[in-house]
A and B are shown apart, each in its own frame.
Chain A
Amino acid sequence: MSHKVAAPGLFDARITKRAAVDAFKKLDPRRLARNPVIFVTEIVSAVVTAFFVRDLLAQNGAASFSGQIAAWLWFTVLFANFAEAVAEGRGKAQADALRKTRSDSHANRLIDPQNKSGMKDVYEGVSALDLRVGDVVLVEAGEFIPGDGEVIEGVASVNESAITGESAPVIREAGGDRSAVTGGTTVLSDWIKVKITAAPGSTFIDRMIALVEGAQRQKTPNELALSILLSGLTIIFLIVCVTLWPLAAYSGAALSITVLIALLVCLIPTTIGGLLSAIGIAGMDRLIRFNVIATSGRAVEAAGDVDTLLLDKTGTITFGNRMADELVPVEGVSERAFVEAALLASLADETPEGRSIVALAKSALGFSTPDLGPEAQIIPFSAHTRISGVDLPGRTLRKGAVDAVAGQVKSIPVDFERAVERISRAGGTPLAVSENGRLLGVIHLKDIIKPDIKSRFAALRAMGIKTVMVTGDNAITAAAIAGEAGVDDFIAQAKPEDKLAYIRKEQQGGRLIAMCGDGTNDAPALAQADVGVAMQTGTQAAREAGNMVDLDSDPTKLIEIVAIGKQLLMTRGSLTTFSIANDVAKYFAIIPALFVVAYPELEAINIMKLASPQSAILSAVIFNALIIIGLIPLALKGVPYRPVGAAALLRRNLLIYGLGGLIAPFIGIKLIDLAVSAIHLA
C-alpha cells in the first residue's frame, strides 16, 4: 500500500494530554448514559462518595476505606472515558489536517447553465459556501475545486493529495469513468466545468471529517447487540448485589453499601464496557489510515462477514497489461534471429506490451539495446491495421495480431499455426512477427498474475472466503487464468448485469458479497453488494453506490478491508470474554472478605491469601480500574487477526482471553494486595 498514513504512537503525548482533559468532560451523565455499564459505575461512584463524606464528618474511622474505594471507582469511570478520548483524539488530528483544505474558497459560478443563446458564458464570483446542488462552476489551473461534482466539460489534471495523500496528479474529464471531482482538490493544468453534486457541508471531505472525528458516531448493529448483552449482565449483577444484602443480614453479616458497590463494580463488565466505543472508533480509524473511507460503521462490520469476494481480473489479479512470456520461432528460423527481429520490431513500441517484449528479449538472450540507426523508419501501431513495425535498410519488420500479419505473408508454416493454437488455448494472446513477408515466429503475450496474489487467495480460502474473478475474457482464457491465480470461481465474458446477477444469486444462498468497482456501470452491483468499495478514481455514481471509497483505488485492498472488519469484531469478543472471565477471581477475593466475620470458615476460599478484608476489596477494585488502562493499547490496535479457520481462531482466542482472563486477575489482585498492604493503605 503506497502511502499509508503513519499512525501516531499509541500514547502520543499531545493526544494523551487532550484525552485526559476530555475524560473529565465526558463525566457529564447525559453523555455517559449512552454507555450503560459505565453510567451505572458513575452513579454508584457518586453514592460511595456521599458515604465517604458522611464517614469523614462522622469521624467513624471508615473514611480512609470508603475514600479510597470512591477514588478508584471514579478512576474506573475516568479510565473508560480516557480510552474513548484517546481513540477519538487519534482521529481528530487527521480531521484537523482535512479541515484546512475545506477553506472558504471562491468559485466562478455560471449564471445561465442552459445557455442556448450561443453567446459567451457569463460567470459570477461567489463563495464556495453559497453553491447549491446543480450549480455549474468553472475551475481553472491553480484553483481549488469548490465542491464535489461531476466534470461536464473540459479535461484537466487534478492534484487530489489532500484526500488521497498521493501527490501524482490524476486526469479528470467529462464523460466516462473519470468525471468525478472532489471539493478541496486543486486543478493543476487546463480547465474544467463542474456540475456541483453535493451541498456545502455534506461534501466528501465534510463526511470524511465527521467520520474520522467520530462526531456522529452511531452504534453499529453488532455493537448494539453486544451492549445489550453487557446491559443484561449489569442488571443481573445488580440483582445479585442488591439481594446479597438481605442474604448477608440473614447470615449475621451486616454489609455496608460501600462494599456491596465495590462488589457490583467488580462484577459488571466495566472492562469491555469502558473499551467498547474505543474499539469501534479505532476500527474505523484503522480503515481510514488504510486510506479507505467507510460511509458507515455497519459497512466495516459487514466486511468481517463477507463470504465471497468479487474481483476484477485486470488490475487486481493480473497486472493491467499483458506481457511477453515466451518467444517461439518457426522451424528454420534460429531463436537468435527471431528474438532479434522481435526486439527490433518492438524497440519503438512504447506500449507496455512492446516494452515487455524488449525486456524479455534482453533477459532471455542477453541482447543489449541496439541502435536502430538514422535510416530506420518507424511504423506506428494503428488500430486499423493492428500492426506495427520498423523499416530498416533491406529489412521490413512487422509485428501484430496473427491474422493481420498472416494476411501479408506468402505462406504459413504448420508449426506456426500449432504454436498459435497452443497459446490461445492457454489463455494467452499470440503476436506474429514477420520479416520481408516471411513469418519468423510467435510472441506469447500473457496475463501476468501478480506475484503474491496466489498466496493471498490461499489465505482467504483459509478464512473461509470464496474468491470470484470477473473478466471480459472468454471462458477458456478465464479458466486458465483462474487456475493459475487460484481463485475459486470466475465469471467469463462478464457484462455488468452478470455481476449483479451473480451477487443476487450468492446472497440468495445466504452469503455476503464484497466487490469493488469504479465505473458507472458498476454502480448497481456496488449498491447490491454487502460491501461495495468504490475507487476514488471512479465516477460519482460508483462512489455514491458503494459503502466504502478506496482513496488509493487499489482493488486488492478488499482483502485488508475484510481483515479489518474481522479484527474489529474479534477485539470486541475477546475483551468481552476477558472481562467476564475476570469476575471469577474477584469473587474469590471479595466473598471471603465480606463474610469473614460472620463465617470465619469461608476463609477457606480466600485462596489468594489476601492480607485483610479491606485490602482484598480494595485490591479487586484497583485491579478492575487499572485493567482498563492496561487494555487500551489492545483496544486501539485490535486483536491480531490471522487467516486461519474459525475453529483455530476461536481456540486461540479462548485460550488467551478466556483462560488468560480467568488467571490474570488472580495474579494481578494478589500483587496489588501485596502493594496495598505494604504501604498500609488498608
Chain B
Amino acid sequence: MTSIGLAQIAIVLIAVIVAAVPLGGYIARVLAGERSLLTPALSPIERAFYRLAGVDPTRDQNWLAYTMAMLAFSVVGFGSLYALQRLQAYLPLNPQGFGGVPADLAFNTSMSFITNTNWQNYGGESTMSHLTQMLGLTVHNFVSAATGLAMAFALVRGFSRAESPTIGNFWVDLTRSTLYVLLPLSIVVALALVALGVPQTLQGSIEATTLEGAKQTLAIGPVASQEAIKELGTNGGGFFNANSAHPFESPNALSNMLEIWALLVVPFATAFAFGRAVSDYRQGRAVAITMMIVLVTGVLIAYWAEASGNPLLTEIGVDPSPGNMEGKEVRFGSAMSALFAASTTGTSCGAVNSMHDSFMPLGGLVPLFNMLMGSIAPGGVGAGLYGFLVLAIIAVFVAGLMVGRTPEYLGKKIEVREMKLAMLAVLIYPLTVLVFTGVSVMLQTGLASLNNAGPHGLSEILYAFASATDNNGSAFAGLTGNTLWYNTTLGVAMLLGRFAFVIPVLAIAGSFAAKKKGAPSVGTFPTHGPLFIGLLLGVIIVLYLLQYFPALALGPIVEHFALLAGKTF
C-alpha cells in the first residue's frame, strides 16, 4: 500500500461525502414534495406526466396499494423489455443488424434490468441494438433506480409519519426520483465524461487502421449517457462487455475517480436524506458513518491484499511493488481497483474496472462479502437504505431489550409483526444464495460453466448468486453465465432478491406508519451515537459472518491459506 494510493482513496471518499450532504437534503425535499431548486423548470413536466397517467399526486397510498403499483410497474417493465429484445431485429436503430435475443437470455436480462441488477450474460456491443440499449436498458437504468429510491422513502415515511394509514404515492415518488434526482445528475455526469473523452454518438462503429496497417473495427455508441446512469443509478450494466475497464467507458484515472464518485454519491446522500426526513440529522449521519466504516474496511483489506502482490509470483522473481496486477488496468492500479471493487459491491452497482476473478483470494473476498451482506455499504440507490434499515431494526430489537424496554427505533415500537416481516426479508438472502449455490455444485450443468476448479470455482458460483440476489450484477467472471441453467436461476435469484425482500419491507413501512411515535427519553437509548454505530457494525458483521462463514471457508479463505502454502488449484 502506498501513501499515494491511500490519498487517492481518501480524495474520492471525501468528495463523495462533501457532495452527499447537500444532495441528501435535496433528495429529502424532493421526495417530501417540497419546493426545490429545479421546481420551476421541472414541475410543468411533472404535472404533465401525472395528467397523462391519470395520477392524482396528492393522494397517498397505503402500503398494499403502494406495493401493487410498484409490482405492476415492474411487470409491465419486464414484459416490454423482454419483447423489445426478442423483436429487436425487426425494429429500427439496429445499425449492426443484430438478431433477436434468445429467450433465456432475454428473460435473464429483463429481470436483471427491472431489478436494478444489470447482470449481463451478454456482450452489450455484440448483442443489443441501439434501440434496445436506449429505449430498454437505459430507461430501466433510470426507473429501476428510481423505484429503489421510492421504496426507501416509503420506509422512511413509516418512521416519519405517525398514526397514518398511508406511506406515499408510488407514481409520484417514481416520477420525482427520476425527474428531479437521477436525470439532472446524469446529464451533469455524462457531460463531464464526454469532456474526459468518453464517446457519445449514434454511430455503430468506426474503422481504424492500426500501426501495423491492419484494419480494426471499434464499437462505439451513446456511451457517456449510459455510463452516467450506470453509476449514478447503481446499475452497473456497461455499454461494453469489459465495463469500466474499457477505455471508451473510462479513458483515464480522472474518469475512473468520477465514476466511483458517481456510484457512491446517491446512496450516501440517501442516508443523509433519511436523517432529514425523520427530522433528526444525526440519525442519517449515524447510518452514513456506519456504511462508510464498512466500506472503508473493505477497501483497505482489498487494497492491502492486492498491493501485497502474489507470493507465488514474487517467488519466481516478479517485482511485487505494483501489487497483483493480473486483471487490472495499468491506468488505475491496485488502489483505485480496490476502491472500485469495494464500492461497486458495497453499492449494488456491479460495474467493474478490473477483473474481480483475478483478485487475490482475500481481495476477492471483499466484494463477495460486501454482496453477501446485501450491499449495504452504502448500498444501491434506495435499496441500500432500506436494506440497512431492516438490519438496524434487528439490531435495535436486541439492543432495546438489553436496556429493558420494548425495543423502539425512532420512536416506533418493534413488535411481533415488524419482527416477522424483518426476519422474512432477512431470510431471503441466505435462502436464495446458499440454496442455488448448493444445487449448482451438485449439478453437472452447474459445474460445466466453471473455468476454475477447487475453491476458486466455488467462489465463482457463490459470487454469481450473491451478485444476482443482491441485485448487484458484477461478475467474478470465470463463470459462463449464458447457459439455460444460469440464465434461469440467476434471473429467479434477482427476482427474489428484489421483490421477496422489498415486499416485507413495504409492509413494515405500513405497519410503522400506523403506529404512534414514542417520545424519546433517557430510558430509550440513542440511535445516533458511536455506541449505536458500534452495535450496528457488530450485528452486521456477526450476523453475516455466521451465515456465510462455512461457504467462505471453502472458497476464498481456504484458497488464501493454500496460496500461502504454495498450493494452487
Contact = CB atoms under 8 A, between A and B. Distances in A.
Contacts of A462: 522
A566 B403 CA distance: 7
A510 B438 contact: no
Given A229-B419, A461-B522, A584-B545, A250 B441 contact: yes
A312 interface: no
Chain A CB within 10 Å, residue with most, of B400, B404, B458, B529? B404
B512 interface: no
Nearest to B538: A658
Interface string B406-419: 10000100111011
B230 to A, nearest CB: 33
Contacts of B403: 566, 570, 573, 646, 649-650, 653
Given A247-B458, A599-B562, A650-B531, A221 B404 contact: no
Interface stretch (A83-91, A237-245, A334-342, A398-406): A237-245
Contact of A599 (B400, B542, B558): B558
A250 B462 CA distance: 13
B55 interface: no
B523 A307 contact: yes
Contacts of A657: 402
A365 interface: no
Nearest to A248: B554
A658 B439 CA distance: 35
B398 A576 contact: yes
Given A228-B419, A646-B525, A580 B427 contact: no
Interface string A558-586: 00000001111110111011001101100
B444 interface: no
Residue from A267, A572, A576, A577 whose CB has the most chain B CB atoms within 10 Å: A577
Contact of B427 (A236, A247, A509): A236
A247 B519 contact: no
B33 interface: no
Interface residues of A, number: 74
Nearest to B561: A601
A647 B525 contact: yes
A576 B400 CA distance: 12
Given A604-B561, A650-B535, A304 B406 contact: yes
Contacts of B548: 240
Interface in A601-626: 601-602, 604-605
A79 interface: no
B102 to A, nearest CB: 29
Given A509-B519, A605-B557, A646-B524, A569 B399 contact: no
Contacts of A576: 398, 401
A651 B525 CA distance: 10
A226 B441 CA distance: 35
B551 interface: yes
Interface string B422-466: 011011001100110111011000010000001101100000000
Contacts of A221: 406, 415-416
Contacts of B534: 654
Interface in A461-518: 461-466, 509-511
A565 B404 CA distance: 7
Nearest to B549: A587
Nearest to A466: B521
B526 interface: yes
A605 B554 CA distance: 12
Contacts of B437: 243, 247
Contacts of B398: 229, 573, 576-577, 580
SS of B interface (majority)? helix
A500 B418 CA distance: 31
Given A251-B458, A602-B557, A304 B430 contact: no
Contacts of A654: 399, 402, 531, 534-535, 538
B404 A304 contact: yes
A226 B416 CA distance: 8
A29 interface: no
Given A573-B400, A577-B398, A647-B525, A247 B405 contact: no
Contact of A301 (B406, B427, B441, B567): B406
Interface residues of B, number: 69
Q: Which of B525, B558, B565 has the largest count of A CB atoms less than 10 A from its CB? A: B558
A572 B517 CA distance: 24
A113 interface: no
A123 to B, nearest CB: 52
Contact of B523 (A245, A263, A591, A646): A646
Nearest to B551: A247
A127 interface: no
B522 A595 contact: no
A8 interface: no
B550 interface: yes
B518 interface: yes
Interface string B534-557: 110010001001111111011001
A641 B561 CA distance: 46
B51 interface: no
Contact of A249 (B394, B442, B454, B523): B442
B35 interface: no
Contact of A307 (B519, B525, B538, B567): B519
Contacts of A250: 441-442, 447, 457-458, 554
Contact of A232 (B405, B427, B522): B427
Interface string A75-106: 00000000000000000000000000000000
Given A225-B414, A602-B558, A646-B525, A567 B518 contact: no
Given A226-B401, A229-B419, A647-B529, A239 B549 contact: no
A260 to B, nearest CB: 10
Contacts of A602: 553, 557-558, 561
B561 A244 contact: no
Given A301-B406, A574-B402, A239 B435 contact: yes
B393 to A, nearest CB: 10
A24 B391 CA distance: 38
Interface in A228-274: 228-229, 231-232, 235-237, 239-240, 242-251, 263, 267
Nearest to B523: A464
B567 A601 contact: yes
Nearest to B529: A647
Contacts of B551: 240, 243-244, 247
A246 B442 contact: yes
A673 interface: no
Contacts of B457: 250
A202 interface: no
B430 A236 contact: yes
B558 A246 contact: no
B402 A573 contact: yes
A307 B442 CA distance: 56
Interface in A261-289: 263, 267
B523 A573 contact: no
A64 interface: no
Contact of A222 (B406, B438, B546, B557): B406
Given A251-B458, A599-B562, A601-B558, A570 B404 contact: yes
23 contacts: A221-B406, A229-B398, A232-B423, A236-B427, A239-B430, A245-B438, A247-B438, A463-B522, A464-B523, A465-B521, A511-B519, A569-B405, A570-B404, A573-B403, A591-B553, A595-B554, A599-B554, A599-B561, A601-B561, A645-B523, A647-B525, A654-B534, A654-B538
User: Shortest 8 CB-CB distances between A and B: which pairs?
Assistant: A464-B523, A573-B401, A566-B404, A232-B423, A464-B522, A243-B438, A646-B525, A464-B521
Given A307-B521, A570-B404, A650-B399, 5 more contacts: A225-B416, A226-B401, A511-B519, A569-B404, A646-B525
Interface of A: 221-222, 224-226, 228-229, 231-232, 235-237, 239-240, 242-251, 263, 267, 301-302, 304-305, 307, 461-466, 509-511, 565-570, 572-574, 576-577, 580-581, 583-584, 587, 591, 595, 599, 601-602, 604-605, 641, 645-647, 649-651, 653-654, 657-658
